[in-house]
Chain A
Amino acid sequence: MLYIETWKRVLVWMVCAAGLVFAAPNLFYGRVELHNDAVKAIEARGSTPGLEADAALWPNWLPSDLVNLGLDLRGGAHLLAEVQVQEVYAAKMEALWPEVRDTLRDERDTVGTIRRQPAQDGTLRVKISKPENMAQALASVRKLAQPITTLTGVGSNDIVVSAQGDEIVITLSDAEKIASDDRTVRQALEIIRRRIDEAGTREPTIQRQGADRILIQVPGVGSAAELKDIIGTTAQLTFNAVINRTSDENASAGVGNKLIPSMDEPGTFYIVDAVPVVTGEDLVDAQPAFDQNGRPAVNFRFNPHGARRFGDYTAEHIGSPFAIVLDDEVISAPVIQSHIPGGSGIITGNFTVEGSTDLAVLLRAGALPAELTFLEERSIGPELGQDSIDAGKIASAVAFAAVLIFMFLTYGLFGVFANIALIINIGLMFGLLSVIGATLTLPGIAGIVLTVGMAVDANVLIFERIREELKTAKGPARAIQLGYEKALSAILDANITTFITAVILYVMGSGPVRGFAITLGLGILTSVFTAIYVTRVMIVTWFDRRRPKTIEV
């Protein structure tokens, strides 16, 4: 008959209570947000009286997770960037050239003289003067190949070497390309994350999407353009050997070299070796500083690998200039005065204090391994978001009230039970959204409103069933029990099908649509729970106390 074990009752009420406690911080959104920010700041930078006061706004022992507001509600910038992964292939081939050259030079007796031929990016063509010994040449170049260590590329090498007439053609293997793409995107992701963190914005979302895309969402940034500035579409630092200095912007650089302008001296160009001696990737630290003349400069330090290469290079080239190149512009081209063994140095140029600080930050964050193309840009102003929140709040409140009244008018006391369950349901939804750190978007609010409308469905099914069972005069207790039992399969079928669509939406959708899918899906889970268990416990408890002879539903 109508009996629910005590432990089940306790469990149901505990779940409800937990949900409401976790939802509670959202009622005091601004206050809890200040508290959370202050706690984070105290952890990171130590305490100040102001921060302590902010932190005291919300007790530490209470949960302080909040529902994240999506960009469409809070305002901010959204970028979808595509990493130009193929750029890295060209760079890799450039880096390989000296090794190939040295290897073949060692075998000059068999392969003859070698000459690099122009080729498309990502391919290296080398002509040898004794093509009859091509087999040997290929064999020695193939020795340069490295095995790939990723799961997908087991057993393959990073380069493919073949012969075309008297030319050796070297390209990256497909497995290496896949591995390289993955590394490039991961590196780009990490660098973007660090730069955005340096800029100190709140709760950025930086996610990889698909093979070569990165989604960046930063609340509170004024516009997508501003966000792009923070990320810096290109910021590649290299140290290159200077071949020549010229004022002719059309000067021919020659194979393996490139012509780049100077940053400070208009009309001055440098021809530099395209293969850098060291790149920004080998930097471990960079700090703004002043040179011996008191002018702003940047101190830097290399990792051991970079330090060795830089040390060897400076030892061999005392007296000749080398170029510090940032984004294809020469910052400065000092002459190497002495061997620099320690791996640290100083970049001097025509900097302001601010300029040197910016450069240091840029260098610390590292260079992007490849350029980014932006496929999607959205900026949403905070006032639009606030308008949406306001409209959403009013609409939700009206919708909620309308449904509560409607249910009460239709089902009387049972309607009140359903209404209490509905309120608990909303609480549980917000509690869950907060705990899993989901993002609430404008369609997400619509999802909540829709859930309010649909959540009563399960109770309607049950109550209608109880009404029907009452007609066959089995007595109220039996009718209630049968009502719950017989309505169950319809409730489950109906909600599982809706849940399937919510899951598909979540998997296929992005951004706001995904936010909608989350609220819809969670709403289904919580509403089934509240409609089946919570109302049941309430009705059974009421029934036990009152023992009514007849009930009206």
Chain B
Amino acid sequence: MRMRLIPDETKIDFFSRSKLWLGISGLLMLGSLVSFLMLGLNFGIDFRGGTTIRTESTQAVDVGDYRAAIDELGLGDITITEIFDPTFAEDQHVAMIRIQSQDDQEAASAEMVETVEAALAGVTPDIRFVSVESVGPKVSGELIQTAILAVSLAIAAVLVYIWLRFEWQFAVGAVAALIHDVVLTIGVFSIVQIKFDLAIIAALLTIVGYSLNDTVVVFDRVRENLRKYKQLVLKDVLNLSINETLSRTLMTSGTTLLALIALLVLGGDVIRGFVFAMTWGIVVGTYSSIFVASAILLKLGVKRDWTKTGGKGNAGTQFANVDA
């Protein structure tokens, strides 16, 4: 007896409420944008400069005492957060201290870090400083630029690739889904205020890759079915293709989510934000490949005549004949 996530044959009409789904997606994107503008992102030092110090001690962390000790040094804006994680030992108390970048220097001076460490050692004698990271404003500005460039480049590259492999309508649909996923992920990060750093950019790009992976599999089937059922209206072809690939879509999302959830729970707090972004992205990406990418493809329409495309030969399939 085999486990089945869904029945072998499904005939779900994914487009009966396509306006509603597109509307919801549009609203969610708008909400993300508003949240991003109102709340902003909790940028890590990668993007806004400054110093973070991670401390560990066997004594419980008293954020108030820590703050009092550091405030005396007059270092400007300081954030202190205690970190809890199921992977920590019983007497392992971890705190994260963030100090804004100091006006007169690029990276934090060793002396500044030393005074902070000395002040904290006064509060908790057995404190250890397991990591100290400092990024100057010059680099952090560049990192933001590079990050934006990287995400835009990835989206553009993908647009071109799908355009070459399929038709432009497919590319527009796929890229709309990608932007949808990226915007929603940024929205979630601005709502829950998880630290947004370089690793999250990596996660965003992976989401781009994954969401695309999903969309392309559906589109590939659409292309095949468009040739196979020349008389079927586009809506039915799309529905048929999504239904045919549905069990695969859910299987792959399922295995990937299984792996990511394991990492989310057991992987430790250092990469939790990163894994959270990816987990969220997989869920959103799976949704968007059906309800955004395909819905937009339906709206744009597709040139059905794959055989007679004039001077271009069989456009869109020119790279498709690949042998195993």
Interfacial residues of chain A within 123-138, with CB under 8 A of chain B in the complex: none
**Contact call B161/A496, Cβ cutoff below 8 A:** yes
CB of A21 within 8 A of chain B? Answer: no
Q: List the interface of chain B (C-beta within 8 A of A).
A: 2-5, 8, 54, 56, 87, 106-108, 110, 113-114, 128-136, 138-139, 146-147, 149-150, 153-154, 157-158, 161-162, 165, 198-199, 201-202, 205-206, 208-210, 212-214, 216-217, 219-221, 224, 244-245, 247-248, 251-252, 254-260, 262-263, 265-268, 270-271, 274-275, 278, 320, 322, 324
Q: Is the CB of B260 within 8 A of A449?
A: yes
Q: Which residues of A contact B161 (CB under 8 A)?
A: 496-497, 500
| Alpha-carbon gap, A222 to B224, bound state (A) | 59
Asked if A532 and B324 make an inter-chain contact with CB atoms under 8 angstroms apart, the answer reads yes
For A240, the chain B residues whose CB sits under 8 A away are: none
Q: How far is the CA of A509 from the CA of B143 in the complex (A)?
A: 9
Stretch at the interface among A294-302, A326-334, A431-439, A450-458: A450-458
When the two chains form their complex, are residues B258 and A453 in contact, meaning their CB atoms are under 8 A apart? Answer: yes
Q: How many Å lie between the Cα of A53 and that of B214 in the bound state?
A: 53
The answer to whether residues A402 and B205 also contact, given A456-B252, A504-B150 and a CB cut-off of 8 A, is: no
B82 shortest CB reach to chain A, Å:
16
Task: Let me know if A457 and B252 touch, CB within 8 A.
Answer: yes
> Which residues of the partner chain B approach A500 to less than 8 Å between Cβ atoms?
154, 157-158, 161, 209
Task: Report Cα–Cα, A460/B199, bound state, in Å.
Answer: 29
Report whether A446 and B267 are in contact in the complex, using a CB–CB cutoff of 8 Å.
yes
**Which parts of A383-418 form the interface with B (CB within 8 Å)?**
383-384, 387-388, 390-392, 394-396, 398-400, 402-403, 406-407, 409-412
Taking a contact as CB atoms under 8 Å apart, the answer to whether A456 and B255 are in contact is yes
In the complex, per-residue mask of A77-118: 1 if CB is within 8 Å of any chain B CB, else 0: 000101000000000000000000000000000000000000
CB of A490 closer than 8 Å to a CB of B: yes
How many residues from A make CB contacts under 8 Å with B?
82
Nearest Cβ in chain A — how far from B157, in angstroms?
A: 5
Please tell me which one of the listed residues A442, A453, A502, A520 contacts residue B270 in the complex, with CB atoms under 8 A apart: A442
Residues 453-478 (chain A) with a chain B CB within 8 angstroms: 453-454, 456-457, 460-461, 464, 467-468
Structural contact, A446 and B274, CB atoms closer than 8 A: yes
Check B220–A490 contact: CB distance below 8 A: yes
List the A side residues contacting B256 at CB < 8 Å: 450, 453-454, 457
- Residues of A within 8 Å of B146, CB to CB, are 508
| Residue among B2, B132, B259 making CB contact with A450, cutoff 8 Å | B259
| Bound complex: CA A457 to CA B214 (Å) | 10
Task: Find chain A residues with CB under 8 A from B54 CB.
Answer: 384
Measured CB to CB, the nearest residue on chain A to B256 is A453
- A224-B132, A383-B128, A509-B201 given. 14 additional CB < 8 A pairs? A374-B107, A377-B134, A383-B56, A388-B271, A395-B268, A409-B3, A446-B267, A450-B259, A454-B213, A484-B324, A493-B217, A500-B209, A508-B147, A511-B198
From known contacts A490-B216, A501-B154, infer whether A398 and B266 are also in contact, taking CB-CB under 8 Å. yes
The one of B138, B150, B213, B248 in contact with A497, judged by C-beta atoms closer than 8 angstroms, is B213
Which of B131, B221, B245, B247 is in CB contact (< 8 Å) with A381?
Answer: B131
The listed residue with most A CB atoms (<10 A of its CB), out of B165, B217, B265, is B217
Interchain CB contact under 8 A, A517 and B202: yes
23 A-B pairs (CB sep. < 8 Å): A80-B139, A374-B136, A376-B134, A377-B132, A378-B131, A381-B128, A383-B56, A396-B263, A406-B255, A409-B2, A410-B2, A450-B256, A453-B256, A456-B252, A460-B255, A464-B247, A464-B248, A490-B221, A495-B213, A497-B158, A498-B213, A500-B157, A511-B198
B8 to chain A: which residues have CB within 8 Å? 467
Binding site for B on A (CB under 8 A): 72, 80, 82, 223-225, 228, 373-381, 383-384, 387-388, 390-392, 394-396, 398-400, 402-403, 406-407, 409-412, 442-443, 445-446, 449-450, 452-454, 456-457, 460-461, 464, 467-468, 484-486, 488-490, 492-498, 500-502, 504-505, 508-513, 516-517, 520, 532, 552
Partner of B133, one of A377, A400, A508: A377
Q: B216–A513 contact, CB under 8 A?
A: no
Q: Which residues from chain B contact A516 at a C-beta distance below 8 Å?
A: 199, 202, 206
Which 6 pairs show the lowest CB-CB distances between chains A and B?
A: A453-B256, A391-B268, A453-B259, A399-B259, A498-B209, A381-B130
> In whole angstroms, how far apart are the Cα atoms of A3 and B219 in the complex?
30
- In contact, B158 and A446 (Cβ under 8 angstroms): no
Return chain A residues, CB-CB under 8 Å to B138. 82, 375
Q: Please tell me if the beta carbons of B248 and A461 are within 8 angstroms of each other in the complex.
A: yes
Chain A residues with CB under 8 Å of B220's CB are: 489-490, 493-494
Q: Which residue of B lies closest to A384 (CB)?
A: B130
User: A403, B258: Cβ atoms under 8 Å?
Assistant: yes
Whole-angstrom distance from the CB of A468 to the nearest CB of chain B? 7
List, in ascending order, chain B residues with CB within 8 A of A445's CB. 267, 271
Q: Which residue of B lies closest to A380 (CB)?
A: B131
Set of chain B residues within 8 Å of A468, measured between Cβ atoms: 244
